[in-house]
A and B are shown apart, each in its own frame.
Chain A
Amino acid sequence: MSSRDAILAAVRANQPASTPPIPAIPLFERASRSLLDEFQENLTSMGGKLAPALEAGGLDALVRALFPDAAVICSATPELRGTRPLDRGAQPAELADVDVGVVRGAFGVAETGSVWLSEEELQVNALAYLAQHLVIMLDPTRIVGNLHQAYRDPRFKTARYAVLVTGPSATADIEGVLIHGAQGVRSLTVALVPL
């Protein structure tokens, strides 16, 4: 018997007979607060930053002002040119020297301060991790209340890779001291830019 069949047979023989039916999951919607305020509060608590409002010069000026020393700015969205075009077919390791990655997020989640990204937005997934800093643009009208609502989004079922990003790479593995930039990006900035 193959291992597969042996495991399935053992599971079938042993799995408990009396069981609860699968429960229906409510959406637990709460109407009271501003989704944007809640999003910002949670993003900040997770170490992310909200960019100041765009001024003349738009996104380019904003990214330049945030990262004046950046040599390589690589953008996965046509809304910003950056210093190096991102080739969808690039090998991930080619992004090792990127200082700032820029991408447009699909939607945000107020409850956690997270932004949804997939291979569709990122072009090369590793951009969100190999870059030293990440800037995500988010349409402030595209924020859902909580994770129940977020997980009803059909794109979770079609994306090869999807991630809820909530702040920069972080660790507290040495004496509980919080450190940003453990292995991935050292900072995460969300810029509210309507689509």
Chain B
Amino acid sequence: MKPVDHAEASSHFIEAKAHLEFHDRRLWDLRVKRDRQAHSIPEWEELRNLASAIKEHTLSHLADYLEEFEAKAKSNGAQVHWARDASEHNQIVYDILSAHGAKTLVKSKSMLTEECDMRPFLEIRGVKVIETDLGERIQQLDDEPPSHIVVPAVHKLRGDVSEVFARTIGSEPGNNDPHYLAEAMRRDTRPYFLEAEAGMTGANFAIAETGSFVVCTNEGNADLSANVPKLHIACIGIEKIIPKFEHLAVFIRMLSRSALGSPITQYTSHFRAPRPGTELHIVLVDNGRSQRLGMKDFWYSLKCIRCGACMNTCPVYRRSGGLSYGATYSGPIGIIIDPAFDIRKYSNLPYASTLNGSCTNVCPVKINIHDQIYKWRQVMAERNQLPLVKKEAIRIIGKVLSDPRLYRAAISATGLAIERLPRFAIYNWLNPWGRQREVPEPPKQSFRSWYLENRRRQ
């Protein structure tokens, strides 16, 4: 498969000026709100340390905790299924649905079902799948994947949503009022909630001591999906386990504060056992996670609680849009997860970063994201996954940087080059870096020549 070309894909995103400006501003606003919340909690840094330690402990005892979770869930009356990969997951879900004669499935947002590409699998088998998170539904109706793990349609403006709704759910063409559009969605979705034979949720956390799982939403759509139909299917990645409720407090305090800058989501819902007369099925999904757990440098990414803070703070993500990553997970967290799924397809993603470290600084579970991005670059070079141009450039830069004489010659030439070289030497197709940038004015003098001059004077 051809590698995703992030730079090329983002060039289209950047062309749409109004979209780019809104996207950048909206996500930075989330980052600012996140800071305000984090700074209002004196123990914030201690919470991050605790969260990281809880996750590292749990992941290193994961098999035992999974067994504990399964045993408790079963004793609560839930049915537990295990899926090695995406296709097994999809088949299990379909089998449960068809055993119940379920033709309509209302579901809340789940990155796991996106990862498994579940919707098309069910739809060609005759199951109507209704996403009930507004952003996710917009993306479903527009036949696009989510562009952000928390705010799936953040790359769209109101006019885009209006166009999609007019085309698909019969809203008034040209009415771009967000209140009107949200109301149109509410009215379109409500009958599905009432009629669907089955509901589906993901899970933000699963708690070993009780076999419970926790879903956080602002719309209450997970609670509708789970509490109205007679069948509730919950799809849970095996890394979502934490030991006890007292640990959950640490994560709930940080999740929405990190994601949206609110103290908590409107609904934090805890599911332990089916309602009387209904069924609860839990599908525990591996899909590459157990393998990632064994990767010395990269298993830390399994600590992720999917808050999206690293995406909101990332200058590359804010200015390239989630879809340009060509993967379920985008932004800094995507860069370190996606190559573990498919190293060739996502071989270019580790370069979609300035390595500024901001992602690592805002991560509530202290994943060393920018270190991992750097390490993935090394892996790509070792595995010969670099594009030819990058490889040649790095070879030459490596030579120059390891030889002081060459370096000095190059530095004094660079100033000249920036001033004198014709623009095509910097702004050409070999160098996508130059496309949206202007080079700074070169300094009049290099540090070394300044140092020699001034030392001589003393």
Render A161-177 as a binary contact track against B, CB cut-off 8 A, 1 for contact: 11111111111111111
Q: Are A125 and B249 in contact (CB under 8 A)?
A: no
Task: Confirm or deny: B138 has a beta carbon within 8 angstroms of a beta carbon on chain A.
Answer: yes
Task: Confirm or deny: A57 has a beta carbon within 8 angstroms of a beta carbon on chain B.
Answer: no
Task: Confirm or deny: B335 has a beta carbon within 8 angstroms of a beta carbon on chain A.
Answer: no
Quick one: which of A1-55 are within 8 Å of B by CB?
Answer: 2-4, 6-8, 10-23, 25-26, 28, 42, 45-47
Task: Confirm or deny: B173 has a beta carbon within 8 angstroms of a beta carbon on chain A.
Answer: no
Q: Are A22 and B243 in contact (CB under 8 A)?
A: yes
Nearest A residue to B137, CB-CB: A173
Stretch binding the partner chain, chosen from B260-268, B382-390, B406-414: B260-268
A28 vs B81: C-alpha distance when bound (angstroms): 38
A15 vs B57: C-alpha distance when bound (angstroms): 10
Task: Confirm or deny: A107 has a beta carbon within 8 angstroms of a beta carbon on chain B.
Answer: no
Q: Are B82 and A3 in contact (CB under 8 A)?
A: yes
Give min CB distance, B196 to chain A, whole Å. 10
Stretch binding the partner chain, chosen from A64-72, A78-86, A135-143, A152-160: A152-160
Q: Are B57 and A21 in contact (CB under 8 A)?
A: yes
Nearest A residue to B277, CB-CB: A89
Q: Are A14 and B248 in contact (CB under 8 A)?
A: no
Query: Contacts A42-B263, A173-B153, A175-B26: A184 and B220 contacting too (C-beta < 8 A)?
Result: yes
Stretch binding the partner chain, chosen from B284-292, B367-375, B433-441: B284-292
Q: Are A175 and B221 in contact (CB under 8 A)?
A: no
Task: Confirm or deny: B339 has a beta carbon within 8 angstroms of a beta carbon on chain A.
Answer: no
A122 vs B68: C-alpha distance when bound (angstroms): 29
Q: Are B82 and A4 in contact (CB under 8 A)?
A: yes
Range for the number of chain A residues in contact with chain B: 35 or more
Give min CB distance, A108 to chain B, whole Å. 12
Give min CB distance, B373 to chain A, whole Å. 20
Q: Are A163 and B293 in contact (CB under 8 A)?
A: no
Task: Confirm or deny: B350 has a beta carbon within 8 angstroms of a beta carbon on chain A.
Answer: no
Task: Confirm or deny: B59 has a beta carbon within 8 angstroms of a beta carbon on chain A.
Answer: yes
Nearest B residue to A2, CB-CB: B82
A6, A113, A163: most-surrounded residue (chain B CB, <10 A): A163
Nearest B residue to A176, CB-CB: B26
Q: Are A160 and B272 in contact (CB under 8 A)?
A: yes
Give min CB distance, B44 to chain A, whole Å. 11
Q: Which of B54, B190, B267, B286 contacts A164 (CB 8 A)?
A: B267
Q: Are A92 and B22 in contact (CB under 8 A)?
A: no
Q: Are A7 and B266 in contact (CB under 8 A)?
A: no
Residues of chain A lying within 8 A (CB to CB) of residue B53: 20, 22-23
Residues of chain B lying within 8 A (CB to CB) of residue A61: none
Give min CB distance, B239 to chain A, whole Å. 10
Task: Confirm or deny: B100 has a beta carbon within 8 angstroms of a beta carbon on chain A.
Answer: no
Nearest A residue to B296, CB-CB: A16
Residues of chain A lying within 8 A (CB to CB) of residue B179: 177, 179
Q: Are B134 and A171 in contact (CB under 8 A)?
A: yes
B62, B224, B267, B272: most-surrounded residue (chain A CB, <10 A): B267
Q: Are A6 and B84 in contact (CB under 8 A)?
A: yes
B138, B156, B178, B185: most-surrounded residue (chain A CB, <10 A): B178
A112 vs B216: C-alpha distance when bound (angstroms): 14
Task: Confirm or deny: A189 has a beta carbon within 8 angstroms of a beta carbon on chain B.
Answer: no
Query: Contacts A11-B290, A23-B50, A183-B132: A128 and B249 contacting too (C-beta < 8 A)?
Result: no
Render B217-244 as a binary contact track against A, CB cut-off 8 A, 1 for contact: 0111101101110000000001000010
Render B35-75 as a binary contact track against A, CB cut-off 8 A, 1 for contact: 00000000100000010011011111111001100100000
Q: Are A151 and B220 in contact (CB under 8 A)?
A: no
Residues of chain B lying within 8 A (CB to CB) of residue A15: 59-63, 293-294
Task: Confirm or deny: B129 has a beta carbon within 8 angstroms of a beta carbon on chain A.
Answer: no
Task: Confirm or deny: B127 has a beta carbon within 8 angstroms of a beta carbon on chain A.
Answer: no
Q: Are B227 and A174 in contact (CB under 8 A)?
A: no
A45 vs B273: C-alpha distance when bound (angstroms): 32
Task: Confirm or deny: B151 has a beta carbon within 8 angstroms of a beta carbon on chain A.
Answer: yes
Q: Which of A20, A114, A151, A179 contacts B182 (CB 8 A)?
A: A179
Q: Which of A19, A112, A129, A179 contacts B223 (CB 8 A)?
A: A129
Query: Contacts A169-B266, A182-B219: A174 and B63 contacting too (C-beta < 8 A)?
Result: no
Lowest 9 A-B CB distances belong to which pairs?
A184-B220, A14-B294, A19-B60, A173-B135, A10-B290, A182-B219, A112-B264, A174-B178, A4-B82
8 contacts between A and B (CB under 8 A): A7-B238, A11-B63, A16-B60, A156-B212, A157-B210, A157-B272, A165-B267, A174-B161
Please give 16 more A-B residue pairs, beta carbons under 8 A apart, in addition to A22-B243, A160-B76: A7-B82, A7-B238, A10-B286, A17-B60, A20-B53, A28-B43, A42-B263, A46-B264, A114-B264, A129-B220, A147-B253, A160-B273, A161-B269, A173-B134, A176-B26, A184-B221
